[in-house]
Structure 1
Amino acid sequence: MPSLLNRYATPLMTGLFLVSLLSGIALFFHWVPSVFHGMHEWLSMVLILPFALHLWKNWRPMTAYARHLPMALSLALSLVAAGLFAVSASQGEGRGGPPQMQLAQTVLAGTPDLAAPLFGRTGAELVEALQAAGFAGAEAGLSLRDIAAASGKTDADLAVALMALSS
């Protein structure tokens, strides 16, 4: 069995890496994300096993690489790049997801007076409708997100209530 795993570790890693590469490119350019998103996530997770087997099979050459500057430098640069993306995203400087999610976040950051025309209502009518829908914390001066939080509800609960108002 170990011989079989060793024989397939590198070919499996290569095949799954190519799938991850191509699906990642498709996601970057927003080409049919519904097709590529699950594929990219799941098959990238499956890639972990052949990667681990590949490392195991090639442990001696890997330790030889590790003794030289290019490996240490490459790993350090990779960690720095990942860290920069993580810090940027945690500070809200990232892309913010798909445009429709950015739009939803902008609407939820607005007050009832700002958002009300989107739902064919005045600010006061929107506050009343939200209160009737169970958002007891609805007040004109709060953002919609703060209204949801003050009412013990999530942004998703608020979005459902707002969509029900527009139908």
Structure 2
Amino acid sequence: MSVSMKSWATPIAASSFIILAVTGVLMFFKIEGGYIKPVHEWLSWLMVAGVALHTMANWKSFVAYFSKVPAVSIISIGVAVTALAVFMPASRDGGNPKAKMMKSIESARLETVAELAGKESGEIIATLEQKGISVENPSMTIRQIAKANQKKEMEVLGLVFR
């Protein structure tokens, strides 16, 4: 079984690595047009599967690495970097500035958000109401509008900035 698994597990791991390396480098340099981001995110699952199958197909070699100090050191550094990336806060000032901006917009009154969108609040209210989202008054926040209509804030904002 491992011989046939090796014949396709390694190519899956290698091809998915190429895809993720190229899309990841492009994203690093803020080149995110087309399908770069969704391909990177979704095909990462292919990489996970390919590496898991590759590891199973080469189990004896994989286990042998744990008897070598350099290999254990490199793997340990990888685990530590992963743990830091997952569990450490993004910054000392409370995190991602884009997330802070979105929370601010979601808690802003519709009339304020209308100014940001370069529209009149009445125009936005009409657009929202055409989509079945009622607005009692323009001083409601985006969050209040979304909650009152059982919608997500991003859905309401998508219509506002459309």
Q: TM-score, normalised by structure 2?
A: 0.67
Map 1:39-78 → 2, pairs under 5 A: 39-67=39-67, 68=69, 69-71=72-74, 73-78=76-81
CA distance in 1, matches of 2:94, 2:127: 28
- Which of the numbers 110, 128, 145 marks the counterpart of 2:143? 145
CA distance in 1, matches of 2:36, 2:4: 30
Letter in 2 for 1:96: K
Map 1:69-148 → 2, pairs under 5 A: 69-71=72-74, 73-84=76-87, 87-88=89-90, 93-94=95-96, 96=98, 106-117=104-115, 118-121=118-121, 125=122, 135=133, 138-139=136-137, 141-148=139-146
Equivalent residues of 1:26, 1:33 under 8 A apart: no
Equivalent residues of 1:136, 1:151 under 8 A apart: yes
What SS does the corresponding residue of 2:82 show, helix, strand or coil? Answer: helix
Output the aligned Cα RMSD.
3.7
Q: Which has the higher contact order (CA 8 A, sep 6+)?
A: 2
Structure 2 unaligned segments of length 5 or more: list them: none
CA distance in 2, matches of 1:37, 1:127: 30
Q: More helix by proportion, 1 or 2?
A: 1
Q: Which runs of 4+ in 1 moved over 6 A?
A: none
Structure 1 unaligned segments of length 5 or more: list them: none
CA distance in 2, matches of 1:76, 1:142: 46
Are residues 11 and 145 of structure 1, via their aligned partners in 2, closer, same or farther at CA, if it must alter by over 3 Å?
Answer: same
My pick for the range that moved more, 57-66 or 136-145, is 136-145
